[in-house]
Amino acid sequence: MSDIRIIEIRKSVNVNPANLRLPFVFIQDQFGYSVNSILRPIRGMTSVHLGTYPDTFPNTIQEYYWLNEGHPGSDLWMALGTLSNGLYFLYTAQCSDTEKTFLDGGHMNLWVSVRFADIINYAMDNLTYKTYIEETTPFRE
């Protein structure tokens, strides 16, 4: 990685989890998007077990730090936060612009790590990172 990234937690002022309702409905085996099928490896991270439906992602999201509302056929859905087991996650989804949305084609990714810096450095591409930085502010407890 050539660029230095901010690895402290940043948050959006307005986070509305309802904006992820559409892609989250399709995270089930019967639709071809099981949690295991969308899970992507992060360098140096051993495999993780995220539970089984319904006690798995996205039902185990504890807190959202940032999310981006997507739209079929154009914008990605993106979400960053923590799970109830303490892992950090980054989720992205995109689908075709049809009435059946994800049933007619789409793609989902889920990265998880025990280290927030891994999500920032290894799961986020440059455009996602840039959008995240632009739409968030440093988090102060």
Long-range contacts from 132-138, C-beta under 8 angstroms, 24+ separation? 132/10, 132/66, 132/78, 132/80, 133/6, 133/10, 135/12, 135/66, 135/68, 136/10, 136/11, 136/12, 136/65, 136/66, 137/10, 137/11, 137/13, 138/8, 138/9, 138/10
The count of other CB atoms within 10 Å of the CB of residue 67 is 20
Domain carrying residue 14: 10-42+49-138
- Domain assignment present for residue 63? The answer is yes
* One pLDDT digit (tens) per residue for the chain, 141 residues: 447 899 999 999 889 999 999 999 999 988 889 999 999 988 766 677 788 778 899 999 999 999 999 988 888 999 999 999 999 999 999 998 777 788 888 999 999 999 999 999 999 999 999 999 999 999 876
pLDDT at residue number 1: 45
- Domain assignment present for residue 2? The answer is no
- Domain assignment present for residue 96? The answer is yes
- Domain assignment present for residue 5? The answer is no
- Domain assignment present for residue 55? The answer is yes
pLDDT at residue number 120: 96
Structural domain tally of the chain? 1
- Domain assignment present for residue 57? The answer is yes
Give backbone dihedrals phi and psi of 68, rounded to 5 degrees, phi first.
-125, 125
- Domain assignment present for residue 21? The answer is yes
Helix (H, G, I), strand (E, B) or coil at 110: strand
CA distances (Å), origin 44, targets 84, 95, 109, 116, 122: 22, 30, 18, 14, 10
- Domain assignment present for residue 15? The answer is yes
Looking at the DSSP bridge assignments, the partners of residue 88 are 82, 113
